[in-house]
């Protein structure tokens, strides 16, 4: 994976923690609305006939507001699924935290009529947009709104993540995806979600999940200021970026996550793929990711 695609500038990761998140979003919104004006030709050049399925920049609430990066992020995830999970066109996929469709977009042209995609998210505007633009055109792509509480994206949500039950029957899916979800949850919430993932996966099904994982190397690099996160505060055994808003960034102990996978009947496939979020030199992506097979 090319680290430069994240467009870091010298010192950027040092300044980022001092800018309030809400202010960052206001600035991004102003800039993206201005850039959206007259951008249709640019989108058509990048995405061709698939351009109507690409959200305007102002709708990209869960990642970089950039068309090239929207395409690259989706392609990166898709390539990992093909390479590490043997993704097939007839697979039934659950995407927890589907956002505005970064992971959805490459799958539209890949899944066949026997395959299906269910996207689950807590942000209403994203779910509504995906239903209107993707769901109405592709009947095997379905999008579900859930009212799980999240300190940043859905603070008024009525359901606590520690109690949430996925709205799907047992053994419904071949593959479960979660990108940048456990990076906003504490251990008891992760425990509940992994239990639900184990329930809805078929035997032999796979879970592809991203994390910030703490091990000896990661903790040392973070403490040395080498990473993109400071994680100065501790909540239980987790380290968090903001003690007043754990949804901003949560890092989990690798040993704890390994124990949960074992508890819920998963075998971790190959090795954990570590990311450069903490400043390591050898990495696969930005976040760490784990691929596990349901026994």
Q: Which residue has the higher pLDDT, 245 or 170?
A: 170
Helices and strands per DSSP (H, E), number in the chain: 9, 11
Give the SS3 label for residue 211.
strand
Alpha helix ranges (H) inside 7-114: 12-15, 21-36, 40-47, 67-85, 104-108
C-beta atoms surrounding 87 within 10 Å: 21
Domains parsed from the chain with CATH numbers: 68-294 (3.40.50.150)
- Give the per-residue pLDDT at 7: 37
pTM: 0.88
Q: Give pLDDT tens digits for 110-167.
A: 999 999 999 999 999 999 999 999 999 999 999 999 999 998 899 999 999 999 999 9
Residue 8 has pLDDT above 90, yes or no: no
Q: What is the per-residue burial (b if ≥16 Cβ within 10 Å, else e) of 210-235? A: bbbbbeeebeebbeeeebbbbbeeee
Residue 9 has pLDDT above 70, yes or no: no
The DSSP call for residue 294 is E
Q: Give pLDDT tens digits for 262-277.
A: 999 999 998 999 999 9
Give the SS3 label for residue 83.
helix
Residue 147 and residue 138: Cα distance in Å, rounded? 25
Determine the angle formed by the axes of helices 254-263 and 187-200, rounding to 10 degrees: 30
Q: Give pLDDT tens digits for 284-295.
A: 999 999 999 999
Nearest to 89 by CA among 63, 112, 70, 120: 112
Q: Give pLDDT tens digits for 239-248.
A: 999 988 877 8
Strands of 157-287, DSSP E: 173-178, 201-211, 213-214, 233-235, 238-240, 250-253, 266-268
Question: In whole angstroms, how far apart are CA 37 and each of 61, 132, 194?
Answer: 18, 21, 42
Residue 15 has pLDDT above 50, yes or no: no
pLDDT band at 6 (very low <50, low <70, confident <90, very high): very low
Q: Give pLDDT tens digits for 174-196.
A: 999 999 999 999 999 999 999 99
Residue 136 and residue 121: Cα distance in Å, rounded? 18
Determine the angle formed by the axes of helices 67-85 and 40-47, rounding to 10 degrees: 20
- Give the per-residue pLDDT at 22: 58
Residue 11 has pLDDT above 80, yes or no: no
- State the number of CA atoms in the 13 A half-sphere of 144 facing the CB: 14
Q: Give pLDDT tens digits for 18-70.
A: 556 555 555 555 555 556 555 777 888 999 999 999 999 989 999 899 999 99
The secondary structure element, H or E, covering residue 192 is helix 187-200
């Amino acid at each position: 994976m090319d680290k430069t695609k994240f467009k870091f500038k010298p010192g950027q990761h040092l300044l980022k923690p001092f800018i309030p998140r809400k202010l960052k979003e206001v600035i991004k919104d102003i800039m993206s609305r201005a850039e959206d004006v007259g951008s249709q030709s640019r989108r058509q050049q990048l995405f061709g006939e698939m351009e109507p399925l690409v959200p305007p920049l102002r709708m990209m609430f869960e990642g970089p507001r950039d068309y090239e990066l929207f395409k690259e992020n989706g392609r990166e995830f898709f390539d990992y699924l093909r390479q590490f999970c043997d993704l097939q066109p007839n697979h039934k996929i659950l995407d927890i935290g589907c956002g505005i469709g970064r992971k959805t977009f490459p799958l539209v042209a890949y899944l066949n009529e026997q395959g299906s995609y269910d996207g689950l998210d807590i942000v209403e505007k994203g779910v509504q947009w995906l239903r209107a633009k993707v769901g109405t055109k592709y009947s095997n792509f379905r999008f579900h709104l859930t009212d799980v509480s999240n300190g940043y994206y859905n603070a008024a949500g009525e359901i606590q993540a520690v109690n949430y039950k996925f709205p799907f029957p047992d053994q419904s899916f071949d593959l479960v995806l979660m990108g940048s979800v456990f990076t906003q949850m504490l251990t008891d919430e992760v425990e509940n979600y992994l239990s639900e993932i184990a329930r809805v996966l078929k035997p032999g099904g796979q879970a592809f999940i991203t994390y910030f994982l703490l091990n000896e190397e990661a903790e040392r690099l973070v403490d040395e200021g080498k990473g993109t996160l400071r994680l100065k505060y501790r909540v239980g055994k987790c380290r968090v970026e903001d003690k007043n808003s754990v949804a901003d960034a949560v890092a989990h102990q690798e040993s704890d996550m390994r124990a949960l996978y074992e508890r819920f009947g998963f075998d971790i496939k190959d090795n954990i793929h570590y990311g450069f979020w903490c400043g390591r030199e050898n990495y696969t992506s930005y976040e760490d990711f784990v691929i596990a097979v349901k026994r």
